[in-house]
Amino acid sequence: MANYEAVLAFFGKTDVPVSAGQVATETGVDRKEVDKIMAQLKKEEKIASPKRCYWELKK
């Protein structure tokens, strides 16, 4: 759950859409784990994609 919080916090502090690779690099969380967390965030409708492969907090 700590990784989930780290990824969500990163989305909260960035003001531009980011890729999963950028999230993994900035948070230090493994890329596969980031993909799982982002899938969960999408399911919970907390993040949205303004353009292909880039994500941001849902407004």
pLDDT digits (tens, 9 = 90+) for 3-51: 999 999 999 999 999 999 999 999 999 999 999 999 999 999 999 999 9
Q: Distances from the Cα of 25 to the Cαs of 6, 18, 32, 34, in angstroms?
A: 12, 11, 12, 10
Domain residue limits at 48: 2-57
Quick check: 59 pLDDT over 90?
Answer: no
What are the two backbone dihedrals, phi and then psi, of residue 32, each rounded to the nearest 5 degrees?
A: -65, -40
User: What's the confidence (pLDDT) of residue 1?
Assistant: 79
Number of domains in the chain: 1
What are the two backbone dihedrals, phi and then psi, of residue 52, each rounded to the nearest 5 degrees?
A: -55, 130
pTM attached to this predicted model: 0.91
Write the CATH number for 30: 1.10.10.10
What are the two backbone dihedrals, phi and then psi, of residue 57, each rounded to the nearest 5 degrees?
A: -60, 140
Residues 6+ positions from 30 with CB-CB distance below 8 Å: 24
